[in-house]
Amino acid sequence: MKPERSQELFDRARLSIPGGVNSPVRAWRGVGGTPRFIARGQGAHLFDVDDNEYIDYIGSWGPLLIGHRHPEILDAIQEALTRGTSFGAPTELEVELAETIRAMVPSMQMVRLVNSGTEATMSALRVARGFTGRDITIKFEGCYHGHVDSLLVKAGSGVATLGLPDSPGVPKGFSDTTITVPFNNVEAVEEAFRAHGDKIAGIIVEPVCGNMGCIPPNAGFLESLRRICDQYQSLLIFDEVMTGFRVSPGGAQQLYNIRPDLTTLGKVIGGGLPIAAYGGRADIMMFVAPSGPIYQAGTLSGNPLAVAAGLAMLRHIQNNPGIYDQLNRNTSLLAACAPENVTVNRIGSMMTWFFTDQDVTDYDSAKTSNTAQFGKFFHAMLERGIYLPPSQYEALFVSAAHTDADIERTVDAAKESFAIAVS
């Protein structure tokens, strides 16, 4: 599996693109080696420019719940193309997508479409501050909510992979509006509210973390966040860009039976095309322009192609509820193949093999992982045709396109690769 053509393209890219990639984790700094340049995808498989084939467990970092080039998604895009690519005006499908989101995620009584997860979280924070008249936000160490200035404080994802401190270019005044506490630590949240409760607009949280590896909430943690926000009249914001429609048809909030005030969505909502959304209680969302004074806009928001793909994805989920049983079964088979000295965290079709024998419940415990062993494991899997996230601090994603044969082959490869990594 020599990456000759990928290496040529990577060398070219570094002359024109910072680091040779358009998103940092793609550079493979966490594992070393040459990132594979992808030529095409089909189902649960990827094919690189050197004609190597892989079973894909990134799935475009989560959106491809039903695999690459699913016929229903392609048909929806092709039909939309016959009508045009962008209008800068309302369309009927935008209304249908918003109505479908409302039906599947009842806490989102009103919805605003945007173009990326970062834009969704940025907008939700602005709405929370504008609605409450307060400036401070609480976030959790290792949770990544996009490259929003005020949230690039102890962020996970690529920031953790590259070992970067809080990003240069973020004015101190921005980070001063953010209080960061450990994930799964209710006492730290309560302490922050006791000190600053009348200034805290809200809490933003990944209900299931995916950007320091997959880390689920402890029993009672999300319930405590809901209780504390109610006590101090602050807003609870669920960042479900990753978990929305991934861990259940109604996201993590359905799975854990918690109703947030605001929710951000992305990834699965677009079926592989760039689209995101934020929404929540109607009384809050009515503060968004043009209904209210909180301004947010976007030229390509509600893009017809992305809306069509997203609507096809959500309709597929509604028509095929059994896919979640399949996803859970297959992901549990992957989880079960890990040796005793590797900790496995899994929620639905999100999973991480942590190369540590400690329980992983927050950012500090995630950082006990042996990243050198993970790098060996990653490359051993790659040599066996398995394409994993190139970082210990990312979740892998199983899709409904993975067949029993794909899972069996992956389990066999993983057993061999674990032996190599921990030897």
Residues annotated as catalytic are 144, 239, 267
Kindly write down the DSSP assignment for every residue of 263-287, as one continuous string.
EEE-GGGGTTSS-EEEEE-HHHHTT
Query: 179-203 in b/e burial notation, b at 16+ Cβ within 10 A?
Result: bbbbbbbbebbbebbeeebebbbbb
Token match 């995630």: residue? 366
Specify the amino acid at residue 298. G
Residue 372, token pair as written in the block = 């050198």
Q: Sheet holding 343-347: strands in order across?
A: 343-347, 350-354, 396-397
The rounded distance, in Å, linking the Cα atoms of 36 and 20 is 12
Residue 404, token pair as written in the block = 């029993």
The rounded distance, in Å, linking the Cα atoms of 148 and 136 is 14
C-alpha gyration radius of the chain? 21
Token match 């209080």: residue? 179
User: Are the CB atoms for 242 and 227 separated by under 8 Å?
Assistant: no
The answer to whether the Cα torsion of 182, 186, 187, 192 is positive or negative is: positive
How far lies 223's CA from each of 187, 227, 249, 251, 267, in Å?
13, 6, 20, 16, 25
Residue 353, token pair as written in the block = 């093999």
Residue 78: partners with Cβ closer than 8 Å, 6 or more residues away? none
Reply yes or no: is the peptide bond before residue 290 cis, omega within 30 of 0.
yes
The answer to whether the Cα torsion of 401, 69, 120, 292 is positive or negative is: negative
Residue 163, token pair as written in the block = 């070992």
Specify the amino acid at residue 417. S
Q: How many helices (H) and strands (E) does the chain have?
A: 15, 14
Reference 136, options 182, 196, 216; nearest CA is 196
- What DSSP element (H or E) covers 136? strand 136-140
